[in-house]
Structure 1
Amino acid sequence: MEQLTLTTPALLFSAISLILLAYTNRFLAYASVVRALHDKFIQSPNDILYGQIQNMRKRLILTRSMQIMGIASLLLCVLCMFLIYIGWQTAAEIIFGVALVLLILSLGTSIKEIQISVKALDLHLSDMEKKEC
């Protein structure tokens, strides 16, 4: 295996930063949806809105997990660079490996969250299709 250099973890900075930006945008969109659901539920609580609220809670938990793992991955990349800088090569390689695993877990969680989001949208579509008939 080649020796890990400062440029290797630095390459992940842009990728992780873009992923975190996408996660943040998703979170902000969810915040808007939660506020709208809250207003609707206060006006007329019903089972459909309650189901949407439960679905949104799951999605927010997953989004929080995605963000935490992404931030931890970025933080470990910075730590890895510091360890390379001070000459602790073995520790840097281990930390970089953990950073990669966290990034993989974050992306995997994102896939799960997207699947839940699609199910929620399918419910809306099926509800509209029933009303059309």
Structure 2
Amino acid sequence: MTLSIETPALLFSATSLILLAYTNRFLTIAQIVRGLKKTYDEKENKSILIEIKNLNLRLTLIRYMQLAGVLSLFLSVFAMLVLFFEQQLTGIYIFGLSLLCLLISLGISFWEISISVKALRVHLKDLVE
């Protein structure tokens, strides 16, 4: 089996877009947490504290999503370097690890989205009933 140096480069655009989306999610949630903290400091409502705790979990997951995504990109570049030096088998294994990291990042993303959907359903429950 052979792997060309261009194959790992294919992940660059996809990984870059995914990391941008993760960063946007992080910034949005961080802004919401800041607003909720200010509201909690004024009212000390327990439901706000629960919501902040949920958002904190989501921020942690996004951090791990970003870590796995960056690691995927790093390993892709490293695989290209190894392939440049004609170390075919090593390059294949490193690229495989890169794909695994990307898969982990996407899996954590799915988990974070699931938490987000559940939280929205709880929040909108009053409107449905």
Q: Which amino acid aligns with 1:122?
A: R
Mapped to 2, the partners of 1:128 and 1:45 lie a distance apart of 24
Q: Which amino acid aligns with 2:82?
A: L
TM-score by length of 2: 0.96
Aligned to 2:106: 107
Cα pair distance change 1:127/1:47, threshold 3 Å: farther
**Superposed displacement of residue 129, structure 1:** 5.0
CA RMSD of aligned residues (A): 1.1
TM-score by length of 1: 0.93
The correspondence of residues 15-94 of structure 1 with structure 2, limited to 5 A, is 15-94=14-93
Aligned to 1:6: 5
Mapped to 1, the partners of 2:106 and 2:31 lie a distance apart of 23
> How much identity, in percent, do the aligned residues show?
48
Mapped to 1, the partners of 2:102 and 2:30 lie a distance apart of 24
**Superposed displacement of residue 113, structure 1:** 0.2
Mapped to 1, the partners of 2:126 and 2:9 lie a distance apart of 47
Gaps of 5+ in 2: none
Mapped to 2, the partners of 1:55 and 1:70 lie a distance apart of 23
Aligned to 1:119: 118
Indicate the larger mover: 60-69 or 118-127.
Answer: 118-127
